[in-house]
């Protein structure tokens, strides 16, 4: 019996470092390749293990809800503020206490109650044919709803949350009536039924299927930096136009993170958030993922610099989630499939 008890103590002693080791469980809607290198650096620097679960954002939110208080997740990382807002509204998140790193973040890039915050900035401007569209012919989003653009506009479907958030931001700035007029005019000018992702819209412009598209800049940057020569050549046929630079600015969104309501490793999770807001991580986002850093003093990648500087919308990002339902209804009324 003494030998059995001794063995049990030995086993417990061997296992205790594993049990006590700090860890973070991260549910991420970002592809593994776009976040794993940073997580590995975090583990190397802190010794805190990161258990990564990737998947569709809406599916991860559903999973969080179904797991309830038994969820192992500490953090939810996703690619649109609309989804972060949705998770908060469903009672799946909690306040992130402010740290030195978080205090440097502009107020517009975080939730008023501290439930989520931005990690990188995404811009969604106009992308036009280098050969067929002169830059001076388009100054504002409103311009592409004019009759001369009929049959010349490509964009992905209304089910895409990037587009839903863009319309929600428009509602917040110009009101429902003017926003509905814009959506109606845009749909009338579609070159084809909405299909594919942002890269497909860029490729459609390059192929001459349309002359103007709306897409996030990091997709174009990713194509320009691709190892595939065909992809590079397609991207080179497209240029960025920053709309509404004399009034409200270009539409922006974030990739961001929320602390889950029942986070079992809360302290370690906050340490990971701080790391993702560090200069090192922000620079990685800018140079590797070609996303704009949320901290103003971090340099952009050369590719992002080649797109030019721009004025951004100043809509509180929480509004994009708040007005999501109104935006979807507006798009449905216009026949945006």
Beta strands in the chain (DSSP E): 23-28, 49-54, 75-78, 93-94, 116-123, 126-129, 153-154, 212-214, 238-241, 252-260, 292-293
Q: How far is CA 246 from CA 67, 243, 311, 313, in A?
A: 48, 9, 8, 11
Q: Do 87 and 64 touch, CB atoms closer than 8 A?
A: yes
Q: Mind spelling out the 3-state secondary structure of 33-93?
A: HHCHHHHHHHHHHHCCEEEEEECCHHHHHHHHHHHHHHCCCCEEEECCHHHHHHHHHCCCE
Annotated binding site for Fe cation: 218-219
| Residue 335 in tokens | 């026949």
Q: Are 123 and 216 in contact (CB under 8 A)?
A: yes
Tokens of 252: 């922006």
Task: List binding-site positions.
Answer: 218-219
Sign of CA dihedral 147, 152, 154, 158: positive
């Amino acid at each position: 019996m003494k030998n059995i008890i001794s063995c049990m103590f030995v086993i417990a002693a061997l296992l205790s470092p594993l049990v006590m080791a700090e860890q973070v469980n991260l549910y991420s809607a970002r592809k593994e390749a776009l976040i794993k290198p940073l997580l590995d650096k975090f583990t190397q620097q802190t010794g805190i293990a990161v258990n990564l679960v990737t998947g569709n954002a809406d599916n991860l939110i559903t999973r969080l809800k179904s797991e309830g208080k038994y969820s192992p997740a500490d953090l939810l990382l996703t690619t649109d503020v609309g989804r972060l807002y949705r998770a908060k509204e469903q009672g799946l998140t909690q306040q992130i206490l402010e740290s030195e790193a978080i205090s440097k973040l502009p107020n517009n890039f975080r939730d008023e109650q501290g439930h989520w915050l931005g990690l990188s900035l995404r811009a969604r401007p106009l992308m036009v044919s280098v050969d067929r569209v002169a830059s001076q012919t388009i100054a504002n989003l409103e311009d592409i709803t004019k009759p001369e653009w009929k049959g010349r506009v490509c964009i992905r479907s209304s089910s895409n949350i990037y587009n839903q958030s863009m319309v929600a931001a428009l509602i917040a700035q110009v009101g429902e009536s003017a926003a509905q007029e814009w959506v109606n005019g845009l749909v009338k000018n579609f070159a084809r039924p909405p299909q594919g992702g942002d890269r497909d819209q860029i490729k459609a412009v390059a192929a001459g299927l349309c002359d103007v598209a709306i897409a996030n800049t990091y997709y174009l940057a990713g194509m320009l930096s691709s190892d595939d020569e065909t992809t590079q050549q397609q991207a080179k046929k497209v240029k960025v136009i920053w709309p509404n630079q004399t009034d409200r600015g270009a539409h922006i969104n974030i990739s961001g993170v929320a602390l889950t309501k029942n986070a079992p490793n809360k302290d370690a999770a906050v340490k990971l958030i701080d790391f993702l807001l560090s200069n090192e991580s922000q620079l990685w986002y800018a140079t590797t993922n070609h996303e704009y850093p949320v901290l103003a003093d971090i340099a952009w990648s050369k590719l992002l610099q080649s797109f030019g500087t721009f004025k951004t919308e100043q809509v509180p990002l929480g509004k994009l989630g708040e007005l999501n339902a109104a935006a979807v209804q507006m798009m449905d009324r216009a026949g945006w499939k």
